[in-house]
Amino acid sequence: MPDYETHEHDVLVIGAGGAGLRAAIEASAAGVSVGLVCKSLLGKAHTVMAEGGIAAALANVDDRDNWRVHFSDTMRGGQYVNNWRMAELHAKEAPDRVRELEAWGALFDRTTDGRILQRNFGGHRYPRLAHVGDRTGLEMIRTLQDHGIHMGIDVHMECTITTLLTDEGRVVGAFGYERERGRFKVFRAKAVVLATGGIGRAYKITSNSWEYTGDGHTLAYEAGAELIDMEFVQFHPTGMVWPPSVRGILVTEGVRGEGGVLKNTQGRRFMFDDIPGPYRTQTASDEEEGWRYTQGDKSARRPPELLTRDHVSRCIVREIKEGRGTPHGGVYLDISWIKQRIPNAAEHIKKKLPSMYHQFKQLADIDITKEPMEVGPTTHYIMGGVRVDADTQMSSVPGLFAAGECAAGINGANRLGGNSLSDLLVFGKRAGEFAAKFAKTSGSGTIDPRQTANGEKRALEPFERGGQTEGPFQVQAALQEMMQDLVGIVRTEVEMQRALDALGTLRARAARVGVTGHREYNPGWHAALDLGNLLLVSEAIARAAIERRESRGGHFRDDYPEKDGALGKVNIAVRKGRDGQMEVSRVPIPEMPDELKRVIEDMK
Ligand SMILES: Cc1cc2nc3c(=O)[nH]c(=O)nc-3n(C[C@H](O)[C@H](O)[C@H](O)COP(=O)(O)OP(=O)(O)OC[C@H]3O[C@@H](n4cnc5c(N)ncnc54)[C@H](O)[C@@H]3O)c2cc1C
């Protein structure tokens, strides 16, 4: 084996967002040595962008809340294809994880009697999101980072992992490169936790940062793990639509939680026009009741703007398609109207939604305390990811764990806002705990030099092709355009088959992509290496979406607009077949225990 810079840890965590940091803290607390690798600088992971809050049934604002309501909201939101055990653990453990974060120094907004304040969010029956204005992710990352650093975790920043190393089917380490200098690195580890986040950069309009290229999904797939639920991509209803340079940037659901309303160009609150059956009894019957709900009236039901994200997105698309959209192809989201209801409305909005106020003022020259915002759906989150055991978070590959957005199960067909940050804490902790246990009972395994040599060869190929061929950015842009058009919010078999054909062509183009220059901080090279991951997750999404011939949650089929009972009992899985091709299968969802069924019945 060439003389690569080599690091050895009991547990290697790939990703320094909420899930990775929480996993690293837990593994370290269990007494094993921990390495943490991330593509960007520590503190810059995507979690830092999270705005609205962390969902946990603390019952600080409404004492009717408890884990049962949270569990049942999560299952209903996910349209019952969630991993019910994960949903149960999540609902039960999230409050402790939030309190623990507070004990480690997180400064949450407060109720008047000094407890953690909680706000309304889509699909949650009661105010449930612990928050810090609309900058919750920043506080969470800062707290976890401070805590983690003091536990002696070794951090390897600006380092991209490109290959997992295996020994007789078990994961024994990882291979990657330093982004700054381009040097290769080997990490030996007894257990590896993937916490690499999502895939949003496979689409043209997205709220996701440059890091979201499906790396963890691809690493796991290539190592032999299964991915499930890849057809379920969440299109958040409210992204900025204007100016073009900021299209897709998120407008937090917190705006609607604080009383913001959606209107078309005819001034109509169109969300009242279509309320799905399962939510009818929980939804306000008029605007007055909806407003009272946002102001904490416990006898009122939530406004239809706070229905689940998949539904709100489709209603917005309908308004735009039927000609009632704004000049820039969105609808209006108005929080300024609350000045009719409360004194000092402008100050109130700036206090509750400081980032939104600055975002619109600086990027679009709009004062949201005075004017409505123009918004439209944006690719936001993937419910699908690595299939893991609910309790331990281990994948089907021994020694390989996954947590956070790159893992799947808890959200089913649709994630409720706020359930990601709590997922990171609950399952990040579990992944760290069980990875440490695995490491303590396992030897180091052997690194196969052919695997590292192959990793190096593949990484350097774009340089060999040089500048005579197409560059990576053109292929990436073509992929994003194609996925947006053919595997987006509304899908059909015909279009998705075209997407598979297009993916074949794009794969061939990607194999010819060349880059110039040297290995020191070369964005073209990084993009060339990301391309393979983006193509793989795009294929997984398209194939799983073709297989699910029904509409459910984030996955809407124009050719199969109804739910299919049989498909409600399975998850769609993809894995790498022996011939190297992607195999798609249906995995039955285990029967839910009676006690959990009763919880769901009781909450209806
Ligand atoms: C604008 C915005 C607002 C949001 N607001 C909320 C909210 O209020 N509440 C909520 O619950 N959810 C929210 N979400 C969703 C939530 O923020 C994410 O789902 C969550 O932060 C993902 O966390 P993670 O730990 O899984 O991954 P991330 O925080 O994305 O971290 C991924 C890490 O993996 C690293 N990485 C990736 N690939 C590699 C590789 N190949 N090698 C090495 N390192 C790698 C990255 O560098 C990074 O450190 C929001 C999302 C967005 C975009």
pLDDT in tens, 552-571: 999 999 999 999 999 999 99
Task: Provide, for the chain, the percentages of residues in helix, strand and coil under a 3-state DSSP scheme, each rounded to the nearest 5.
Answer: 40, 20, 40
Task: Tell me what pLDDT residue 604 has.
Answer: 80
579-583 contacts: CB < 8 A, separation 24 or more?
582/539, 582/540, 582/543
What's the pLDDT band for 139 if we cut at 50, 70, 90?
A: very high
Residue 513 CA, distance from chain mean position = 29
Task: Tell me what pLDDT residue 194 has.
Answer: 98
Residue from 240, 287, 284 nearest 261 by CA: 287
Is it the case that residue 1 has pLDDT exceeding 80?
Answer: no
Ligand 1 centroid, distance to 195 Cα (angstroms): 8
Instruction: Specify the DSSP class assigned to residue 589.
Output: P
Residue 325, token pair as written in the block: 């959209």
Query: Kind and range of the H or E element at 499?
Result: helix 493-512
* Whether the Cβ atoms of residue 474 and residue 187 lie closer than 8 Å to each other: no
Ligand 1 centroid, distance to 197 Cα (angstroms): 5
The structure's pTM equals: 0.94
What's the pLDDT band for 603 if we cut at 50, 70, 90?
A: confident
Task: Tell me what pLDDT residue 443 has.
Answer: 87
Task: Tell me what pLDDT residue 42 has.
Answer: 93
Task: Tell me what pLDDT residue 468 has.
Answer: 82
Is it the case that residue 181 has pLDDT exceeding 70?
Answer: yes
**Residue 236 is a catalytic residue:** yes
| Residue whose CA lies nearest to ligand 1 atom number 14 | 50
Pocket test for ligand 1, best of 7, 14, 46, 380 (most atoms within 8 A of CB): 46
d(CA 407, CA 17): 13
Which residues, at least 6 apart from 559, have a Cβ–Cβ distance to it below 8 Å?
Answer: 492, 493, 494, 549
**Residue 555 is a catalytic residue:** no
Atom index in ligand 1 nearest the CA of residue 159 equals 43
Pocket test for ligand 1, best of 155, 212, 256, 421 (most atoms within 8 A of CB): 421
Ligand 1 centroid, distance to 16 Cα (angstroms): 9
> Is residue 18 in contact with ligand 1, taking CB distance under 6 Å?
yes
Is it the case that residue 2 has pLDDT exceeding 80?
Answer: no
Task: Tell me what pLDDT residue 377 has.
Answer: 94
Q: What is the mean pLDDT of residues 80-98?
A: 98
| Residue whose CA lies nearest to ligand 1 atom number 52 | 50
Atom index in ligand 1 nearest the CA of residue 53 equals 8
Task: Tell me what percent of the residues of the chain surpass a pLDDT of 70.
Answer: 100
Is it the case that residue 90 has pLDDT exceeding 90?
Answer: yes
Ligand 1 centroid, distance to 50 Cα (angstroms): 8
Neighbours of 492 (CB within 10 A): 14
| Residue whose CA lies nearest to ligand 1 atom number 13 | 50
Task: Tell me what pLDDT residue 277 has.
Answer: 87
Of the CA atoms within 13 Å of residue 43, those in its CB half-sphere come to: 7
Residues, the chain: 604
Task: Tell me what pLDDT residue 264 has.
Answer: 97
Q: What is the mean pLDDT of residues 83-111?
A: 97
Is it the case that residue 174 has pLDDT exceeding 90?
Answer: yes
When the pLDDT of each residue in the chain is averaged and rounded to a whole number, the result is: 95
Instruction: Work out the burial of residue 339: count CB atoms within 10 Å of its CB; fewer than 13 is exposed, 13-18 middle, 19 or more buried.
Output: middle
DSSP 24-53: HHHHHHTT--EEEE-SS-TT-SGGGG--S-
Atom index in ligand 1 nearest the CA of residue 160 equals 42
Ligand 1 centroid, distance to 388 Cα (angstroms): 18
Amino acid at 229: D
Name the active-site residue from 236, 247, 526, 543.
236
Neighbours of 340 (CB within 10 A): 8
Strand pairing partners for 177?
A: 160, 184
Task: Tell me what pLDDT residue 202 has.
Answer: 97
> Is residue 334 in contact with ligand 1, taking CB distance under 6 Å?
no
Task: Tell me what pLDDT residue 14 has.
Answer: 98
Residue 338, token pair as written in the block: 């609350």
> Is residue 319 in contact with ligand 1, taking CB distance under 6 Å?
no
Amino acid at 51: E
Q: What is the mean pLDDT of residues 494-515?
A: 97
Is it the case that residue 306 has pLDDT exceeding 70?
Answer: yes
Task: Tell me what pLDDT residue 458 has.
Answer: 96
d(CA 376, CA 596): 36
Q: What is the mean pLDDT of residues 445-449?
A: 94
> Is residue 16 in contact with ligand 1, taking CB distance under 6 Å?
yes
